[in-house]
Structure 1
């Protein structure tokens, strides 16, 4: 049998495994190898993880993929695992190269909810290697003194013969054994994060282990409490900062401990808490706390949204200060704006989409009953309705690639906006001269069922006053762009996207003069079938 070099070494003519796994897991797989069939009746997560570990050892990649699929099926209706599943996955996934994405996901959950592992009955039995991996993290939302106590708790459970004393007196040999058990973890504690009174109470119990004065840390302080933005994980917040700074998110992404940016929460849709009172100036007063004002974007900003019916996170970065007097519907060039999306708040399956046509990056768009919203090219456009709903029209035109949702019209369920600034107060980049400019043109073919696209080439020739016989335009040299904005009696999504061009009193029959705020073309079909325009 071929064995992965990570798990086995050959001694003479035999293989010696480097780690222990349960005999049950080996029996299931060995029986399957002998019989050709493996039967699993609703296996628990512990067994699935052990089977994946054995599959990795024996290089059974096909079976490994089946087990991974079964593990994903254990998620609940919100596509999340139970706390005990997270613990089981953490305990094993860190050792399996093919599961590093899964380990990173569970590690992010641990960062935000350390009690999932620390308060689990399985905590005392985790491997020292995993414990040290977690203690090396620069972010754990848990008081440092409690992290130290958990290290001691783990040490006591893994020191043979150690019994907790009620009067805080211990045999010196036991204390020495405990210190030996946790000696690799002690240097990873951020003692500067611990208040001296808490440290003093600790050394009253274990004075043979800890010196009277707190040890000086040679490693940075740990972040023990959440920082903005709280609605996403520290990993995704670090990714956003990495994208803003144009760093490679695969090579060296920022963390919340080393990010050069400050995130300040200014808007949360439908907020009914004191947050609204503290940030009321960022809310559109006419929209019942649904719409933000342009004040949210008086400086670089990040918008994070969740669409109804999807757990996916959608976001957009604006590097422009809109406090300046900028005309509506006029695009402001920038090379730095981007859209992003991911499966969840932990940044799973994230996708970045930078602007590719700098001249059509962002503009301000009017919304009814009053106010303005940012519009990202034609790729991310907002529509507000008097019923109190806000929709986002998602397309793929001026930005690099589509977000992980299909093009379409989505109802926004959650919406948060953060003002962003650099910690060193340096200005944020708006136009990066080192980035290549790509002029991306929207296809000029308009969408209409009344005439063919060739007819538009003829119309363009007439507009230009050229000879339609000898100098007729073609699609390749067309100088005009035709954008449909009104279609009589339309009951499709088109009407909702272009509602401002419809006269509200005539049920979709008449256009408004807004259709002619600039040169326009009208095309009509008579009952006789003839086309006039």
Structure 2
């Protein structure tokens, strides 16, 4: 084709695929055919605009890989400034190099709000780590570390302080572990303290406060997953209701005695038991939507469940066991602490007893008597 142009001075481009025209452009540059370079760039911009928008990564790398392709460079810069969403929606967006994406998001004239930039940076980062789930609530510590390492160069260019409270809460906070600690703490304090005239701003501040759970055993990620279990949602579903997790008893603060449990928790409903095992990172627990009592009776509910987590950092490794014999979902006995089922999970003070299944679906741990390092009772209510 180039020989035809050299000897004939004419060139018909309609019969060629756009990707082939790009190759011809590169070849023309190698042969220093400036007139052809100019013609090819003009043809692409005038006739193949949509294709170039959909294949932005290729066009960006090609244009900025050579000083001769000024028209294509201007095309890319204009697209980055005025229509960045076309780049983010392009078929090869996740193939952009780190350098290219940083150039895009730090562009002074980019016409896209901060939350859209953040969401697309997260999308790009997840794509660079194929094993990562799309839902951050199921991330392990290693998952967060992988995403943090991938995106650490982008964080300085995200204008977090321009976000709305609700945007920060719903879109940024779930990924807080990839943000450097100092910046993360400043952001949380900023969104708590900031005067805000948005509708429902007080609710938003309460929601942000609820992210800081007063627990030495579970984190917000655990609480988010437990909230989904309470509402019978799948892990991948969006949160249906926001719950405040209020600490009402902690063993190391209030004592581990059975008497203290009944003194504080009797006639309290919607409570969550969480137990940190001794000499292990395991967490055991259960949810009781009805009240605790000191008499010798059974509590009936179809909504209770017991659970276990392998450790505090990895919420993805868990077992959920729902009640399947609701008449005996809860046992009340003044000689013991909280009891789920027919002593299938029984808190005994400094130890926890796990017995054969009668009222719950599956084992959350092998049966036996295990020592407890810490335990807490948290009461939930809708925000």
Q: What range is the shorter-chain TM-score in?
A: 0.3 to 0.5
Compute the TM-score of the two structures, normalised by the length of structure 2. Answer: 0.40
- Bigger Rg over Cα: 1
- TM-score for the superposition, normalised by structure 1: 0.29
Q: Which has the higher contact order (CA 8 A, sep 6+)?
A: 2
